[in-house]
Amino acid sequence: MSTALYRRYRPEAFAELIGQAQVTAPLMTALRNDRVNHAYLFSGPRGCGKTTSARILARCLNCAEGPTDTPCGVCDSCVELSRDGSGSLDVVEIDAASHNGVDDARDLRERAIFAPARDRYKIFILDEAHMVTPQGFNALLKIVEEPPAHVKFIFATTEPDKVISTIRSRTHHYPFRLVPPGQMLEYLEQLCSSESVSVEAGVLPLVVRAGGGSVRDSLSLLDQLIAGSEGGQVTYDRAVALLGFTHESLLDSVVTAFALKKPAEVFAAVEGVIQTGQDPRRFVEDLLERLRDLIVVYSVGSDASAVMRGVPQDQIEKLTTQAMQFGMADLTHAAEIVSETLNGMSGATSPKLQLELMCAKVLVPAADQSEVGSLARIERLERRIGMSGGAGETTAASASSAPKSEVSATATAAPVAVSAPIAALSTAAFKDAWQEILGVVNKTNKAAWMLAFGLQVVDFEPNDSVLTLQFTSARDLESFKTSSNAPDILRKSIDQVLGVTVKFKPLIAESAEVKTEALPVVAPAPAVEDVVEVEDVAEAPVEKIAEKKPASKSRNSKMVNEEERYGESLLREMLGAEPVEDKKNR
């Protein structure tokens, strides 16, 4: 009968601890520099080294060569405090779970008065300190606050919040953490080789997963697997069965069946899960984990082995094949559904039913929705083709050239040529589709529709996707502008109907002549040398509005100024542009 692994491998020095550098490094430094506090609090999840560290700290403090960050291991104290040692008179370990009352605290207090029997310090380790009652802590308070020079306290607990704050604030607090999988795996591998047991591929990752970051739990599980192994050989089959994970081969067949869309095999596998009495939830978890692995493999390609540590090469190749069979879109889709199922998996619905539903959803990738989606896309394409080619009525040709001839009279032909095949949309196309666009806005958001329904399409500049809209008044423009979502909703609706993301350019109508007069003003603008940039196109109309308004509406200059401001700020906000003057003045 051998002692448990976790006892045989209990670290005896800080350097042997794994995954707790955030604690061991500063502690060792403090010890080296002889800056030792009189009370310590070690907190953290179970089985990650708190009690062990408390003992190591005591060993460091009382080593004949110490205080030191590495106990010598040969002095009397070190020998007594070693893994197999008898324990030292001067290090008192108290399990607070059973000694938690006032009397125990008083007893401890009295014992603390006596000087150490042999070593430097009298050290009290209060393990499971959260079990001490508040009264017990209060009885301890005085001595923890100002202990005699020869006394040190080390509290260890999973629940530091339960240690009353007056005590806590008198300690140096070191938080322990769960050990990350990579480090744990390495440690287990090392341990297996020093125990000379051979472990089949894939077993240790299972142990790491089942251990959940606790070293003690992981070691216990490994211990159990070793105990049940034949001839020092831990086999994968036994390990999955014992740990309750889904068998690789089952996962393989389910995933492949999903990828190749073979319902019969998928449902047979589900049946298998239920028949073998496996926990359905665990199966879903494992499936999700597998999908995640596939996504990772798919994304990183040949670097997968670097990302997925501990996974052998042939396994990675298998995963790659599966990922390829799936494709990224189906993978993410499947992962989403599986994850959703996992979240909803509690409660009354029969697990088998839930599993089968999940499989059905994965197998039929969002059938109706994607149909709607692609239908919409086809419609959009049709519309665009129809508009550029067929619907040549009066405006198709002129509209696409009209704005160009005005604005880009000075521009080279290049931008036109580039944009021609993509953006054949015209002002007329916008006018035709406008009611439909407003309909979409209306469906999306009534308030946005109220703001948008009075708008009129004035012009669309396909080169830069700038859509000039006419507002009936400055107030309308202001409301539209300050609405939290109207511009966005309108833009998205346009995108949905016409498949183009536009930038808005505002015009305030007040009277029709604004518009008609405005256009000629733009054309001659001599400053515009290269119209390809959006800002330049956008700037021109500002000048137009700014110059225009005072002339035509001078009787109400306050109003006009307001409008200017609105126009300008809208421009800045929506187009990210700035007026030409601003730029020039700089």
Residues forming contacts to ligand ADP in the complex (CB under 6 A) are 6-7, 9-11, 17-20, 46-52, 156, 179, 215-216, 219
Q: Least Å distance between CB 129 and Mg ion?
A: 10
Q: Which of the choices ligand ADP, Zn ion, Mg ion, none does residue 243 contact, using the CB cut-off of 5 to 8 A by kind?
A: none
Report 24-63 residues binding Zn ion (CB under 5 A). Answer: 63
Q: Least Å distance between CB 47 and Mg ion?
A: 8
CB 103 within 8 A of CB 133: no
3-class DSSP state of 488:
helix
Q: Which two tokens stand for residue 41?
A: 């609090």
Q: Which of the choices Mg ion, Zn ion, ligand ADP, none does residue 6 contact, using the CB cut-off of 5 to 8 A by kind?
A: ligand ADP
**DSSP β-bridge partners for residue 542:** none
H or E segment to which residue 288 belongs = helix 280-300
CB 538 within 8 A of CB 573: no
Q: Which of the choices Mg ion, ligand ADP, Zn ion, none does residue 72 contact, using the CB cut-off of 5 to 8 A by kind?
A: Zn ion
Q: Least Å distance between CB 129 and ligand ADP?
A: 11
CA dist., res. 254 & res. 370, Å (int): 24
Please name the amino acid found at residue 313. Q
Q: Which residue among 4, 13, 36, 75 contacts Zn ion (CB under 5 A)? A: 75
Segment interacting with Zn ion, rule: CB under 5 A, options 67-75, 198-206, 380-388, 441-449: 67-75
Strand ordering across the sheet containing 503-508: 456-461, 466-471, 503-508
CA dist., res. 456 & res. 70, Å (int): 81
CA dist., res. 504 & res. 520, Å (int): 20
Nearest to 88 by CA among 97, 98, 96, 79: 79
Please name the amino acid found at residue 185. L
CB 561 within 8 A of CB 573: no
Residues 6+ apart with CB under 8 A from 339: 288
Q: Least Å distance between CB 83 and ligand ADP?
A: 9
Q: Which of the choices Mg ion, Zn ion, ligand ADP, none does residue 287 contact, using the CB cut-off of 5 to 8 A by kind?
A: none
Would strands 456-461 and 466-471 be described as parallel, antiparallel, or unpaired? antiparallel
Q: Which residue among 78, 163, 269, 577 contacts Zn ion (CB under 5 A)? A: 78
Q: For Mg ion, give the closer residue by CB, 155 or 258.
A: 155
Q: Which of the choices Mg ion, Zn ion, ligand ADP, none does residue 11 contact, using the CB cut-off of 5 to 8 A by kind?
A: ligand ADP
Q: Which of the choices Mg ion, ligand ADP, Zn ion, none does residue 428 contact, using the CB cut-off of 5 to 8 A by kind?
A: none
Report 344-363 residues binding Mg ion (CB under 5 A). Answer: none
In the bound state, the residue with its beta carbon closest to Mg ion is: 51
Q: Which two tokens stand for residue 496?
A: 């949905």
Q: For ligand ADP, give the closer residue by CB, 7 or 111.
A: 7
Report 22-81 residues binding Mg ion (CB under 5 A). Answer: 51
Task: Tell me which residues touch Zn ion (CB under 5 A).
Answer: 63-64, 71-72, 75, 78
- Positions touching Mg ion (CB under 5 A) are 51
